[in-house]
């Protein structure tokens, strides 16, 4: 195992560990929606929710970085000191973020909760990797280009989120931009590149087709992701042309995601003898992307719908499912990388965690989506108060919690297997 591969495996291990923590914290947060909360004062939702958001973000980023570095190592990237520095810095960021979350020291901006010094450190860590890649990468393959665009956009989004302003409306605009582009475009592009790398591993699609397909899919997802992201501006007051664009986008967004799904179907229907579960995880990632970004994103892009759903569980779910789509692809990468590092063509993590996670997230997501729909009707259309509405949708929250319990169990088994079957023998 080369030093670069070790680093990539380290990032992936961090992603799995953070995902476990995220699942546990999210379970705690979900339980607060279901019944009276004995921890309401000692551990209020605002701390739990912020901590979960930070853990999910760092888990996604760790996975995307780890997967990217592993693929680059396979494409001839030499060991580089900058990679080592980046990994150490990233590890420090994770530790500090963990304690900041535990101690309730996170920022009071929803989905931008990482304290500014850690945001800056995050930017530096990603730039170090990109610089190391530029220094040592000889081949600018389509994977490299799309993955790099995704990671660079992540840096830009972090910088946008750091811009200070005392005007709250301007702050909301910057937040909508930073969060929307990061989740709907940056995560998605980097994960898509990893998905296409997986595609080479589990299918017989020709290299040339996969490369051109990646460019097409990335272009399509960039356009769709931007449309979904810009819908965050509607509640802040937008010009008439943006409403017109939104109405067109509402039709276009689901179609754009379906185009990408069709590309992937070709690969999924042309499997090679690889028996790892990379294809399963990639398919799950795509399904979550279709639901989260394609369906919910499309609804959100329609101005006439978004004005009623903004701030309900539907808009919350859109971002969460899109981030979890990236996570599913990362778990596929972890599965594939572990098998390759062990030198064995095996499933490694097994089907049990896959199905538990798939049913848990999709089932729980549908329940939460149902809660969002009912909330939209009762609270926004029928004019019933927020608190009364929340009481009425507790059964749907209970289903959501049940789904998350299954997903948590699956992720726990996945993490345990990942640890037990970690590659201990260097493989060339």
Partner 1 sequence: MPGTRPFFIAALLVSAVAVVALAGSVLHPRDVPQAVATGYNVWRATGCEGCHTLFGQGGPYAPDLTGIYAQRGDVYLREFLVNPNAFHPNQRLMPRFGLTIAETDSLLAFLEWVGQQETGWPPRPIQVSGGSGLVGSSVANSGETAVLPEDPAARGRNWFKSPPANCATCHALEPEVVIVGPSLAGIATRAGTRVPGLNAEAYIRNSMMAPGDYVIEGFQNVMAQNLADTLSSDQINDLIAFLMTLE
Quick one: tokens of 168? 């709250």
Shorter beta-carbon distance to partner 1: residue 24 or 242: 242
Q: Give the whole-angstrom CA distance, residue 318 versus residue 311.
A: 11
CA-CA distances (angstroms) from residue 230 to 19, 90, 116, 306, 347? 28, 30, 24, 12, 40
Least distance CB 219 / partner 1 (angstroms) = 3
Least distance CB 308 / partner 1 (angstroms) = 7
The answer to whether residues 361 and 288 touch, using CB atoms and an 8 Å cutoff, is yes
- DSSP class of residue 203 equals B
Nearest CA to 43 out of 24, 29, 27 is that of: 29
Shorter beta-carbon distance to partner 1: residue 397 or 414: 397
Shorter beta-carbon distance to partner 1: residue 49 or 353: 49
Nearest CA to 260 out of 167, 169, 193 is that of: 193
Least distance CB 265 / partner 1 (angstroms) = 17
Shorter beta-carbon distance to partner 1: residue 34 or 124: 34
Least distance CB 230 / partner 1 (angstroms) = 5
Shorter beta-carbon distance to partner 1: residue 46 or 345: 46
Contacts of 161 (CB under 8 A, 6+ apart): 109, 112, 119, 174, 175, 178, 179
Shorter beta-carbon distance to partner 1: residue 309 or 335: 309
- DSSP class of residue 40 equals T
Q: What is the three-class DSSP state of 274? A: coil
Contacts of 318 (CB under 8 A, 6+ apart): 228, 292, 293, 296, 297, 300
Using left for φ > 0, alpha for ψ between -120 and 50, and beta otherwise, residue 423 falls in beta
The answer to whether residues 107 and 47 touch, using CB atoms and an 8 Å cutoff, is no
Shorter beta-carbon distance to partner 1: residue 239 or 273: 239
Q: Give the whole-angstrom CA distance, residue 375 versus residue 151.
A: 35
Q: For residue 105, how far is the Cα from the chain centroid?
A: 23
Least distance CB 32 / partner 1 (angstroms) = 7
Shorter beta-carbon distance to partner 1: residue 233 or 359: 233
Nearest CA to 147 out of 223, 71, 237, 86 is that of: 71
Least distance CB 204 / partner 1 (angstroms) = 18
Shorter beta-carbon distance to partner 1: residue 280 or 313: 313
Least distance CB 280 / partner 1 (angstroms) = 27
- DSSP class of residue 76 equals T
Q: Give the whole-angstrom CA distance, residue 359 versus residue 365.
A: 9
Q: Give the whole-angstrom CA distance, residue 368 versus residue 198.
A: 30
Shorter beta-carbon distance to partner 1: residue 42 or 428: 42
Least distance CB 309 / partner 1 (angstroms) = 8
Least distance CB 113 / partner 1 (angstroms) = 8
Q: What are phi and psi of 271, to 5 degrees?
A: -75, 150
The answer to whether residues 333 and 63 touch, using CB atoms and an 8 Å cutoff, is yes
Least distance CB 365 / partner 1 (angstroms) = 14
């Amino acid at each position: 195992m080369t030093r670069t591969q070790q680093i990539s495996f380290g990032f992936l291990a961090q992603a799995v560990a953070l995902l476990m923590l995220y699942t546990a914290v999210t379970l705690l947060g979900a339980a607060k929606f279901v019944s009276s909360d004995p921890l309401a004062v000692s551990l209020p939702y605002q701390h739990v929710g912020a901590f979960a958001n930070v853990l999910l973000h760092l888990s996604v980023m760790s996975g995307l970085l780890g997967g990217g570095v592993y693929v680059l190592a396979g494409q001839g990237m030499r060991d580089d000191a900058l990679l080592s520095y980046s990994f150490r810095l990233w590890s420090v960021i994770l530790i500090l973020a963990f304690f900041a979350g535990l101690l309730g020291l996170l920022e009071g901006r929803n989905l931008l909760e990482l304290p500014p010094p850690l945001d800056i450190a995050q930017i530096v860590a990603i730039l170090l990797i990109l610089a190391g890649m530029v220094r040592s990468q000889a081949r600018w393959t389509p994977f490299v280009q799309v993955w790099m665009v995704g990671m660079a956009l992540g840096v830009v989004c972090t910088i946008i989120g750091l811009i200070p302003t005392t005007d709250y409306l301007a702050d909301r605009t910057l937040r909508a931009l930073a969060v929307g582009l990061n989740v709907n475009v940056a995560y998605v592009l980097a994960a898509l590149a990893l998905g296409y790398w997986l595609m080479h591993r589990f299918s017989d699609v020709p290299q040339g087709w996969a490369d051109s397909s990646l460019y097409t899919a990335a272009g399509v997802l960039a356009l769709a992701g931007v449309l979904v992201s810009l819908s965050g501006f509607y509640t802040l007051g937008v010009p008439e042309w943006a409403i017109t664009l939104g109405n067109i986008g509402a039709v276009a967004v689901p179609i754009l995601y379906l185009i990408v799904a069709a590309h992937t179907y070709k690969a999924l229907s042309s499997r090679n003898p690889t028996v790892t579960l990379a294809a399963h995880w990639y398919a799950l990632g795509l399904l979550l992307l279709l639901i989260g970004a394609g369906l919910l994103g499309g609804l959100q892009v329609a101005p006439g719908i978004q004005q009623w759903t903004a701030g309900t569980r539907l808009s919350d779910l859109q971002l969460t499912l899109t981030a979890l789509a990236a996570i599913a692809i990362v778990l596929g990468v972890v599965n594939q990388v572990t098998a390759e590092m062990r030198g064995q063509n095996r499933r490694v993590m097994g089907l049990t965690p896959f199905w538990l996670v798939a049913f848990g997230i999709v089932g729980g997501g549908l329940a939460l989506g149902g809660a969002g729909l009912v909330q939209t009707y009762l609270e926004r259309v029928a004019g019933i108060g927020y608190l009364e509405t929340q009481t009425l949708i507790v059964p749907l929250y209970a289903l959501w919690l049940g789904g998350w319990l299954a997903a948590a169990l699956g992720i726990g088994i996945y993490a345990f297997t990942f640890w037990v079957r970690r590659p201990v023998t260097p493989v060339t």
